[in-house]
């Protein structure tokens, strides 16, 4: 039991690494196994199929990234629940982008997997569901902000959630691909200004 869990963690970590480097379709079982230090087809044996592995990786990465975000928020401000919702948005986005200044394989893999959902045929339900959860989560936060007075009342929560999510993902992707060419601090500051000026109650 212990042994299996250990293998699984090693495989998932290796898979995230390889996906971050090579992209999903070129991430092979052989490479993942080699990097995890196991036999060549433990991945296939363990997960049954590539789809299953991918789904598991996506799940794990989302858990880890959101857990890390939550704990980072809590490390900053004592109580998330009493914080005005606008501050929650600003802090979360800032922490999110901050990760991409020096991303772990998990974080890079998250964006890479997002990019893999763009082709029309890509049926990659795990990832798309996570996106949807993110929207609805944001929409709810924005509504709460309208209640607590920190967010303007005339904002459309659903549409704002999509725009916010797209902004985060899009900017994060650019930070990855153009790491050298961008001044990350100023980008983060600009994103913060945009969010504030767009959402804050005037």
Partner DNA sequence: TATGAATGAGTATTCATTCAT
Partner DNA sequence: AATGAATGAATACTCATTCAT
By the criterion CB under 7 A, which residues form the site for DNA?
Answer: 1, 3-4, 6-7, 26-31, 38-42, 44-46, 48-51
Q: Which does 50 bind (CB under 5 to 8 A by kind): a copy of itself, DNA, none?
A: DNA
Task: Work out how close the CB of 124 gets to DNA at its nearest, in angstroms, rounded to a whole number.
Answer: 14
136 binds, among a copy of itself, DNA, none (CB under 5 to 8 A by kind): none
Min dist. Cβ of residue 200 to a copy of itself (A): 9
| Residue 44 interacting partner from DNA, a copy of itself, none (CB closer than 5 to 8 Å by kind) | DNA
**Residues sharing a CB contact under 8 Å with residue 173, sequence separation 6 or more, in sequence order:** 111, 114, 115
Nearest CA to 113 out of 67, 74, 65 is that of 65
Least distance from DNA to the Cβ atom of residue 20, Å? 15
* Residue 63 vs 193, nearer CB to a copy of itself: 193
- Using CA atoms, how far residue 172 sits from 12, 31, 102, 155, 201, in Å, is 23, 26, 11, 24, 26
Q: Kindly calculate the radius of gyration of the chain based on its CA atoms and give it in whole angstroms.
A: 19
Between residues 38 and 198, which has the closer beta carbon with respect to a copy of itself?
198
Query: CA 86 to CA 97: how far, in whole Å?
Result: 17
Instruction: Give the interface with a copy of itself as residue ranges (CB under 8 A).
Output: 19-23, 25-26, 108, 111-112, 114-122, 128, 131-132, 135, 155-156, 158-160, 162-163, 165-174, 176-178, 181-183, 186-187, 189-191, 193-194, 197-198
Distance CA 123, CA 116 (A): 10
77 versus 170: smaller Cβ distance to a copy of itself: 170
Contact, 152 vs 201, CB < 8 A?
yes
**Residue 1 and residue 139: Cα distance in Å, rounded?**
40
- C-alpha pair distances (Å), 153 with each of 46, 129, 183: 51, 28, 33
Taking the complex as a whole, how short is the minimal distance between the CB of residue 147 and DNA, in angstroms?
Answer: 47
């Amino acid at each position: 039991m212990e042994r299996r869990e250990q293998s699984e963690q090693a495989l998932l970590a290796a898979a995230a690494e390889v996906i971050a480097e090579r992209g999903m379709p070129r991430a092979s079982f052989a490479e993942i196994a080699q990097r995890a230090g196991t036999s060549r087809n433990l991945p296939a044996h363990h997960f049954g199929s590539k789809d299953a592995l991918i789904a598991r990786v996506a799940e794990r990465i989302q858990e880890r990234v959101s857990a890390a975000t939550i704990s980072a928020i809590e490390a900053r401000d004592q109580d998330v629940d009493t914080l005005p919702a606008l501050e929650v948005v600003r802090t979360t986005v800032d922490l999110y982008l901050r990760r991409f200044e020096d991303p772990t394989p998990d974080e890079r893999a998250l964006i890479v997997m997002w990019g893999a959902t763009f082709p029309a045929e890509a049926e990659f339900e795990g990832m798309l569901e996570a996106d949807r959860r993110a929207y609805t989560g944001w929409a709810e936060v924005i509504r709460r902000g309208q209640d607590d007075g920190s967010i303007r009342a005339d904002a459309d929560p659903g549409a704002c959630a999509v725009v916010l999510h797209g902004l985060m993902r899009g900017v994060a992707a650019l930070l990855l691909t153009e790491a050298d060419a961008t001044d990350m601090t100023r980008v983060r500051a600009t994103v913060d200004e945009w969010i504030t000026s767009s959402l804050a109650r005037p």
